[in-house]
C-alpha cells in the first residue's frame, strides 16, 4: 500500500501516522520528493482500512500496490535511487554512469595491476575481477579466492578505483570487508540464504539476472536484500539463455527500459557475458548506453588468448579505450535528444 501525504501536512502528524502504522507490525518506507511525501507500507496490509486512512486530513490518497516487490517498486519511491560506492561516494544512477572494467578473474599481481591502470586511464570508474569463480566445470580455474581479494585491494590502493567482486558463499563475507561492491552472479541470483545475509550489511550489491529468470524474479531477488534493510542495489542485465548459439547468451536490452519503469534501482548492462564474443561487445555497449543503462560492466584482459577464464569475450585495454570513447559519444548524443 502507498499513502500519498498532502504537501501541507505537518511533519508531526506524518510521524504520528507512521508510528501508528508501524505499531501494527508493518514496515514503512518513506520517500520524500519535492512536492509529495509517499509512505510505502510493507507487510500484511489487509489489516489497514483504506477508507479510514483516506479520511485523514493529511492524506491525499491511498493506493494498493499489487506487485509482490515493494521496496524495489518505483511506486514506493518515484525518484531514481542513486547508489554511492566506496569512500569517495561515487554515484551510480540518475545520470551518473558506472563504467566497470577488468578481467573475468584475478590471475596474478602483475595482471591485475596492469589491467587496473589501463582501464583507469581509459575512463573506467570501477575495477572488476573475480576471486571466487562460479565455473561450470570443477576442473576449471576456480579463482585465487582470498589471495585474489588481496590483489584487488592492492590494485585499489595503486589506482584509487573502487573494486567489484563476486561472492558465492555468505561464510566468505569477512573477506569482503574492504570490497566496495559485492557482486551476486547470475548463478546465485536465487540463492535466497545468501541474499538474506547481504540484506544485513550496507555495502552496495550488484545483482545479475539469472540465466533463465524473468525481470520480476530479478526484482524479487533485489527485494530479498532490501527486506533485510540493505537498499544499496544495482541491477545487471547480462543476457539470458535462448535457442540462439551464435552468442553465448541473448542480451535482453529491453530489460533496461522495462526495469526503469518498474523500479527506482539503477540498471547496468554486461555486454561481455551477454555476447561471449569480444567483437560484439562494442556495439552492444553502445546500444546499452543508447537505451538508458546506468552503467556497463566489461571484461578486459591484457592477454586474452592466455586468460584463465572468458578470454574469448575479453577486450584488450586498447579496445576497451575505444569502447569507452564510443559509449561517451552515445551518451552525450542521447543526452541532447532527451
Ligand atoms: C562474471 O561476472 O565473471 C560472471 C561469472 O558473470 P555471470 O554471473 O553474469 O555469469
Ligand atoms: Mn567472466
| Predicted pLDDT at 335 | 87
Distance 294 CA to ligand 1 centre (A): 18
pLDDT tens sequence across 215-266: 999 999 999 999 999 999 999 999 999 999 999 999 999 999 999 999 999 9
For residue 139, pLDDT beyond 90: yes
Count the Cβ atoms, other than its own, within 10 Å of residue 291.
Answer: 17
Q: Torsion over CA of 129, 133, 136 and 139, rounded to 10 degrees?
A: 110
In this structure, are strands 59-63 and 2-5 parallel, antiparallel, or unpaired?
A: antiparallel
- Please answer whether residues 294 and 96 qualify as being in contact, where contact means their C-beta atoms are separated by less than 8 angstroms: yes
Retrieve residue 75's grid coordinates.
511506486
For residue 34, pLDDT beyond 90: no
Closest ligand 1 atom to Cα of 128 = 2
Share above pLDDT 70 across residues of the chain, in percent, rounded to a whole number: 100
For residue 267, pLDDT beyond 90: yes
CA distance 127 to 120: 8
- pTM of the full predicted structure? 0.96
Residue nearest to atom 1 of ligand 1 (CA): 104
For residue 35, pLDDT beyond 90: no
The answer, yes or no, to whether any atom of ligand 1 lies below 6 A from the CB of 70, is: no
In this structure, are strands 83-85 and 27-32 parallel, antiparallel, or unpaired?
A: unpaired
pLDDT tens sequence across 195-215: 999 999 999 999 999 999 999
pLDDT band at residue 30 under the 50/70/90 scheme? very high
Closest ligand 1 atom to Cα of 104 = 3
For residue 36, pLDDT beyond 90: no
For the CA of 238, the nearest ligand: 1
Retrieve residue 23's grid coordinates.
505499531
Retrieve residue 128's grid coordinates.
572488476
For the CA of 248, the nearest ligand: 1
For the CA of 213, the nearest ligand: 1
The answer, yes or no, to whether any atom of ligand 1 lies below 6 A from the CB of 268, is: no
Half-sphere exposure of 334 (CA within 13 A, CB side): 16
Tell me which DSSP letter residue 97 carries: P
pLDDT tens sequence across 174-188: 999 999 999 999 999
pLDDT band at residue 312 under the 50/70/90 scheme? very high
Mark out the alpha helices in 37-93 (DSSP H runs).
Answer: 50-54
The answer, yes or no, to whether any atom of ligand 1 lies below 6 A from the CB of 209, is: no
| Predicted pLDDT at 208 | 98
Distance 83 CA to ligand 2 centre (A): 24
Mean pLDDT of the chain: 97
For residue 326, pLDDT beyond 90: yes
Distance 185 CA to ligand 1 centre (A): 5
Residue nearest to atom 10 of ligand 1 (CA): 186
The stretch 304-318 carries a mean pLDDT of 98
SS3 184: strand
SS3 40: strand
Retrieve residue 292's grid coordinates.
538508458
The stretch 141-149 carries a mean pLDDT of 98
Q: What angle do CA 303, 155, 321 make, to 5 degrees?
A: 50
SS3 164: strand
User: In the block, which residue shows the cell 544485513?
Assistant: 200
The stretch 292-297 carries a mean pLDDT of 98
Mutate to test the pocket of ligand 1, among 130, 184, 208 (most ligand atoms within 8 A of CB): 208
Closest ligand 1 atom to Cα of 209 = 9
pLDDT band at residue 168 under the 50/70/90 scheme? very high
Mutate to test the pocket of ligand 1, among 130, 206, 247 (most ligand atoms within 8 A of CB): 130
| Predicted pLDDT at 33 | 83
Question: 104 — phi, psi (to 5°)?
Answer: -60, -50
The stretch 261-273 carries a mean pLDDT of 98
pLDDT tens sequence across 76-101: 999 999 999 999 999 999 999 999 99
SS3 50: helix
Half-sphere exposure of 50 (CA within 13 A, CB side): 8
Q: How far is CA 126 from CA 22, 43, 102, 115, 121, in A?
A: 39, 36, 8, 12, 12
Question: 106 — phi, psi (to 5°)?
Answer: -75, 125
Amino acid at each position: 500500500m502507498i499513502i500519498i501525504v498532502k504537501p501541507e501536512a505537518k511533519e508531526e502528524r506524518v510521524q504520528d501516522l507512521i508510528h501508528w502504522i508501524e505499531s501494527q507490525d508493518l514496515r514503512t518506507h518513506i520517500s520524500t520528493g519535492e512536492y509529495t511525501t509517499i509512505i510505502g507500507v510493507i507487510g500484511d496490509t489487509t489489516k489497514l482500512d483504506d477508507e479510514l486512512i483516506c479520511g485523514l486530513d493529511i492524506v491525499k490518497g491511498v493506493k494498493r500496490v499489487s506487485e509482490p516487490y515493494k521496496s524495489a517498486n518505483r511506486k514506493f519511491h518515484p525518484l531514481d535511487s542513486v547508489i554511492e560506492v566506496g569512500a569517495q561516494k561515487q554515484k551510480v544512477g540518475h545520470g551518473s554512469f558506472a563504467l566497470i572494467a577488468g578481467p573475468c578473474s584475478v590471475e596474478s599481481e602483475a595482471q591485475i595491476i596492469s589491467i587496473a591502470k589501463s582501464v583507469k586511464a581509459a575512463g573506467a570508474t570501477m575495477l572488476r575481477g573475480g576471486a571466487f569463480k562460479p565455473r561450470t566445470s570443477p576442473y576449471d580455474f576456480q579463482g585465487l579466492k582470498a589471495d585474489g581479494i588481496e590483489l584487488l585491494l592492492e590494485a585499489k590502493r595503486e589506482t584509487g578505483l573502487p573494486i567489484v567482486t563476486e561472492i558465492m558463499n555468505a561464510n566468505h563475507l569477512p573477506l569482503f570487508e574492504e570490497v566496495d561492491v559485492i557482486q551476486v552472479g547470475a548463478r546465485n541470483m536465487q540463492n535466497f540464504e545468501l541474499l538474506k545475509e547481504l540484506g544485513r550489511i550496507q555495502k552496495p550489491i550488484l545483482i545479475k539476472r539469472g540465466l533463465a529468470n524473468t525481470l520480476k524474479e530479478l526484482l524479487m531477488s533485489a527485494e530479498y536484500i532490501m527486506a533485510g534493510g540493505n537498499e544499496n542495489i544495482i541491477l545487471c542485465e547480462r543476457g539470458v539463455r535462448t535457442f540462439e548459439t551464435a552468442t553465448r547468451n541473448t542480451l535482453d536490452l529491453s530489460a533496461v527500459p522495462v526495469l526503469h519503469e518498474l523500479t527506482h534501482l539503477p540498471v547496468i548492462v554486461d555486454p561481455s557475458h551477454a555476447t561471449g564474443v569480444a567483437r560484439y561487445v562494442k556495439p552492444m555497449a553502445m546500444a546499452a548506453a543508447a537505451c538508458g543503462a546506468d552503467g556497463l560492466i566489461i571484461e578486459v584482459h591484457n592477454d586474452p588468448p592466455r586468460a584463465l577464464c572468458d578470454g574469448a569475450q575479453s577486450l584488450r585495454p586498447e579496445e576497451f579505450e575505444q569502447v569507452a570513447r564510443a559509449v561517451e559519444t552515445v551518451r552525450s548524443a542521447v543526452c541532447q535528444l532527451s
